[in-house]
Amino acid sequence: VTLAHIGLGSNLGDSRRIVADAIDALSALPHVRSLHASALYETPPWGVVDQPPFVNAVAQIETAATARALLDDMLAIERAAGRVRDGSRWGPRALDLDLLLYGGAILSEPGLDVPHPRIAQRAFVLLPLADIAPDIHVPGAGRVRDLLARVDADGCRRLA
Ligand code: A4P
Ligand code: MG
């Protein structure tokens, strides 16, 4: 069994509901033994700033799945949640699931980079991650609470 951390984000549709439902979907996976979720946060868009704010959260799970199998399940949840009925067409994606950490593993494979790149630069990841795992070590980067102290979390707001 491996302790893994998954980042969730949405900025399209009913983002709070979408993120909450995705957390439920993760906990229902047959290989997931336990799940602890952070609070939900509203965060200013990072990278491409000309888009609506995000709702972000992090889920910590104990899983019996390999990183690859877990990622495949995450992508299936993402696809299901991100597809909105629009007549006969499927609308845009509304959910991003990122495999942030998989135990202490460092993986660099086609379509699978762990730890997820750029964790250390992102308040929208570090803030919810620090809710549940402040002392965990991000391989190659440092302890979550120390990384969080170095980023700009202005504009991030914990949702009730
Ligand atoms: N992939 C490789 N490694 C991983 C991993 N560890 N976890 C591959 C998840 N996926 C991984 O994913 C594209 C491919 O990455 C997957 O098929 C998988 O094989 P994607 O989610 O479609 O890629 P993306 O999201 O378009 O690109 P990227 O760079 O991952 O974007 P991010 O990092 O997800 O950023 N601002 C705020 N405030 N909050 C946000 O959540 N999110 C983004 C997107 C930008 N700004 C944001 C937020
Ligand atoms: Mg992504």
Instruction: Return phi, psi of residue 137, to 5°.
Output: -100, 125
Q: What are phi and psi of 91, to 5 degrees?
A: -80, -170
**Residue 81: pLDDT band by 50, 70, 90 thresholds?**
confident
pTM, entire model = 0.94
Pairing of the two strands 157-158 and 41-43: antiparallel
Atom 25 of ligand 1, residue of closest alpha carbon: 96
Ligand 1 neighbourhood includes 11 CB (under 6 angstroms): no
pLDDT, greater one: 121 or 82: 121
Distant-in-sequence, close-in-space partners of 36: CB < 8 Å, separation ≥ 6 = 59, 60, 61, 132
pLDDT, tens digit (0-9, with 9 covering 90-100), for 41-80: 999 998 888 888 999 999 999 999 999 999 999 999 998 8
pLDDT tens for residues 92-150?
Answer: 468 999 999 999 999 999 999 999 999 999 999 999 999 999 999 999 999 999 999 99
> For residue 88, what pLDDT is reported?
40
Q: How much is the pLDDT for 83?
A: 60
Distance 97 CA to ligand 2 centre (A): 6
Judged by its nearest atom, the ligand closest to the C-alpha of residue 98 is: 1
Structure tokens at 3: 């302790």
pLDDT of residue 90: 39
Q: Which residue has the higher pLDDT, 127 or 160?
A: 127
According to the model, what pLDDT value does residue 47 have? 85
- Catalytic center residues: 83, 93, 96, 98
* pLDDT at 48 (0 to 100): 82
* Ligand 1 binding pocket includes 124 (Cβ within 6 Å): yes
Q: Is 152 in the pocket of ligand 1 (CB under 6 A)?
A: no
